[in-house]
Each structure stands twice: as structure tokens, then as C-alpha cells.
Amino acid sequence: MGFSDIFKKDFLASYTSETVSVPHIVAVLFITCIIGCYIFMVYRVITRKTFYSRNFNISIAAIAVITAGIILAVQSSIVISLGMVGALSIVRFRTAVKEPMDLVFLFWSIAVGICCGAHVTEIAIVLSVLLTILVLILDRIPIGKAPMILVVNLQEGKQEPELVERIREFCRYYKIKSRNITGNGCNLVIEVRTSKEYDLVQKVQELEGLESVSLISHDGEVTF
């Protein structure tokens, strides 16, 4: 028997199959389910998206359980672990994650699954509690108010200077984002920041040659 054979034998002996009992598997997956449901509720409370995706929220809880099952399978045998790496390497996910907070919850769910599957449930529980406190505190900090969008349709473009004067009277910040001039008139899209929305619209409405005015709020990025 050569050195290479001894090395292979010692290497494989250190990764012998570990028998995982059914009660142990059920207990680990049950605890993971509880923490996954907790993540589900936290995501539902924190998210403020107009189009709330219930399927995505369910997927977050399911990913934690699936990850815990994978970790349990990997611990049982080195052969399964190598096969799992090969199987997962060919998986391609095409779904784009548009919200940064969605990525936070995805990694949170995966981390919980790994911790529970590796028999360190205490880390998963402490991690979940600290993340909840951190996200709630940072979410309540008033960073800034998103500006509003003022859409004005004028019959002629020469009313624009007078329109700007009326906007300046009620807005501490304004910026013309779009100016579209046609043969039928002028369309302006202006980003404004004001606390007197109703007064601003009433003042702009008094402008001669005005066809329509709209003031729209949005939950997009905040401009400082």
C-alpha cells in the first residue's frame, strides 16, 4: 500500500457517513419552519411596496427549510455533498431582484437554513432577533421625504417664466425634469419639494393658458 492509498483512506475515513435519525431531522426542520414563518411575518410588516408579492414572501420561508435540508444531507455523507455541489452548480436563476431589501431577506433566510442544518440554532435565533431590531430601527429613522412630481400642460411655452415664479413661491426646491414643446402647447414635468401642496396647485391653476395641472407623489429615491 503506497502513500497515496494511505492518504485517500485517511481522508475518506474522516468523512464517513453520519447516521441522522428521523426525529433529529424532524426537529431541525420544524425549528427552521418556525424561524421561516417569523421571517415571513417580518417581511410582511416591513415591506411598503405597492405591489406586495405574496409568492416571494412564501419563497423566503421555504428557502430556509430547503437550505436546512441540504445542510443535513451534506453532513451525512461526503458523496452526497460532492453530488450536491455538482447539481447546484448547473442551476440558473433568471428572476431579477429589484428591491435591495429583498436581497437582505433572501440572505437572511439562507443563513437561517445553514445555521439550523449545522446544529447551531442559537446563532439563527440571535441573528433573527438582531436583524429585526436593526431593520426596524433603521426603517424608522427619518432620512428625507421624496419629492413630488408636478405635471403642467400649457397652451403656449411663453407662460413658463410665470409658472416658475409661482412654483418658487411655495417650493424650497424645484427642478424641471422634462420640457416637451409641440405645436399644441408645452408639457412640463417638474420635481418639487413643498409642504403646501394644495396652495401650490391652486396658485398654478390660476395661470392663464393652463390646460391641466397634476401633483403626483411617489415612493422612489430621495433627492438631497
Q: Mark whether 114 and 162 lie in a shared domain.
A: no
Q: Mark whether 207 and 169 lie in a shared domain.
A: yes
Q: Mark whether 40 and 95 lie in a shared domain.
A: yes
C-alpha cell at 128: 433573527
Q: Mark whether 99 and 130 lie in a shared domain.
A: yes
The whole-number pLDDT of residue 88 equals 58
List the domain range (segments joined by +) for residue 194: 148-216
Question: Around Cβ 166, how many Cβ atoms within 10 Å?
Answer: 15
Confidence band (pLDDT; 50, 70, 90) for 205?
confident
Pick from 73, 70, 68, 72: nearest CA to 33 = 68
CATH of the domain at 164: 3.30.70.1710
pLDDT tens track for 43-87: 988 886 656 788 888 999 999 998 888 888 777 666 565 556 555
- Distance between CA 75 and CA 17 in Å, rounded? 8
Q: Mark whether 72 and 176 lie in a shared domain.
A: no
Q: Mark whether 126 and 158 lie in a shared domain.
A: no
Helix boundaries (H) for 14-149: 22-46, 54-76, 78-89, 100-117, 121-140
Q: Determine contact, residues 64/35, Cβ cutoff 8 Å.
A: yes
Q: Is the pLDDT of residue 33 over 90?
A: yes
Write the single-letter amino acid at 204.
V
- Distance between CA 173 and CA 164 in Å, rounded? 11
In a domain, 165, yes or no: yes
Task: Give the HSE-up count for residue 186: Cα atoms under 13 Å, Cβ half-sphere.
Answer: 16
Q: Determine contact, residues 30/44, Cβ cutoff 8 Å.
A: no
Helix (H) or strand (E) segment spanning residue 186 = strand 185-193
